Amino acid sequence: MNERRIADDVMLMSFPWRTLGIDFRRNVTLLRLADGRVVVHSTARFTEQDIAAIRRFGEPSWLVEATLMHDTFAKEGRKALPNIPYLAPDGFAKASGVQTDSLLPPPRDWDSEIDVLRIDGVRMNEHALFHRWSRTLVVADLFFSFPEETSGWPRFFFATCHASAAIVWNQFFLPPTDNSRQARF
């Protein structure tokens, strides 16, 4: 696991996660509230050392999944942090097999510190979190970022996916310019 401080109250923990022969990395973002409690955005195969790193940053108080697609490590995340609320989009509990509470409306404890924004038009039921103090927007799968030095199969895969995603996005998710074209889901 690599950790990187993004801002005083925002830390990124990056874990290896390989699929299709590519290390996509699994990013977990920690958002600290003014009182020291921490929102753990996304889960991973947390070790005792990882939980200790989270606790050094602040008191873990909520687990959050912001999209239906992030069920991969839900059971491991819940096992590592069993006594805090687990918030996720509607339908996540069914997809993951882990009991969760609804991400919307967000906890009142987040008022004036973290906003939850539902991203309409995305089947994954994705949400973004905006940490006001640091002006940090945290998204799940809406955007991907890969190093410039990526080459070979991973570069081909990312370029192909990027081009395909642009076509799908334009066809199905952008609002029509007139009434003649409607996206069908």
Domain ranges of the chain: 2-143, 146-185
CA triple 58-4-66, angle to 5 deg: 70
Total H helices, total E strands in the chain? 4, 12
Confidence of residue 70 (pLDDT cuts 50, 70, 90): low
Say which CATH superfamily domain 2-143 falls into. Ribonuclease Z/Hydroxyacylglutathione hydrolase-like (3.60.15.10)
- 154-171 pLDDT, tens digit each: 566 656 665 555 444 444
172: three-class secondary structure by DSSP: helix
- Identify the pLDDT of residue 181: 40
By mean pLDDT, which of 2-6, 59-63, 162-166 is the weakest? 162-166
Distance CA 123, CA 43 (A): 21
